[in-house]
Amino acid sequence: MRIEAEALDRHRRAVEESVRVVTDVRASELRSPTPCAGWSLADLLAHMTVQHTGFAAAARGEVTALADWAPRPVADDVADAYRAAADDVVAAFVTCDADAELWLPEIRGGTRVPARTALGFHLVDYVVHAWDVAASLGTSRALRQGDDVLTAALAVARGVPDDASRGVPGAAFAPALPEGGGADGQAGDTLARVLRLLGRDPAWAPGRG
């Protein structure tokens, strides 16, 4: 049995929106700061690309090592490489058995999670990362993330533990920001809630840190 078509469609659209945003990146912007502390735009894109590759392998039933998820330096054809990785992960989840347990080595030192759960993890990552890239480029108001995609991302974000694990080096998300904290002018209400739950300030902009 495959994952529900509606869930796959939301996932596809979340990933495709990230592709659209990445396509706008110019080589001269790769050193730009991002909302991810300490990461340049090149660092972020390298992370986003290898995460697609890792989740695609998991969705195909492969057991990868943590080293397989290590980012590689971005090349001159960063947008093309990113699109290829994005297409791969979308296709992999389409053929994934809904009852499969996917191996994710980055979570709790390596664990298996249900396919639907992994799909949700990947969706929320790319809702947030599309915003990260757009914010770095100063274009976050132009995001085209559907209401149903954002609602699904919010449900996943609410389930991410906000505990001491967020404070360790390399944590996927920073500690959550207070509800309503920061100006929301850079993002719609639902997206802003997702961002704050996952430690992002919706008002972040280049030059503000």
180 CB neighbour count, 10 Å cutoff: 9
Domain ranges of the chain: 5-151
Spatial distance between the Cα atoms of 209 and 193, rounded to a whole number of angstroms:
20
Residue 188: per-residue pLDDT? 60
Residue 181: per-residue pLDDT? 47
Residue 208: per-residue pLDDT? 61
Secondary-structure class of domain 5-151 per CATH: mainly alpha
CB environment 56-86: b (16+ within 10 A), e (fewer)? bbbbbeeebeeeebebeebeeebbebbbebb
Residue 8: per-residue pLDDT? 98
Per-residue pLDDT of the chain (209 residues; tens, 9 = 90+): 899 999 999 999 999 999 999 999 999 999 999 999 899 999 999 999 999 999 999 999 999 999 999 999 887 789 999 999 999 999 999 999 999 999 999 988 899 999 999 999 999 999 999 999 999 999 988 999 999 999 999 999 999 887 777 777 767 788 899 976 444 444 469 999 999 999 999 999 987 65
Residue 177: per-residue pLDDT? 93
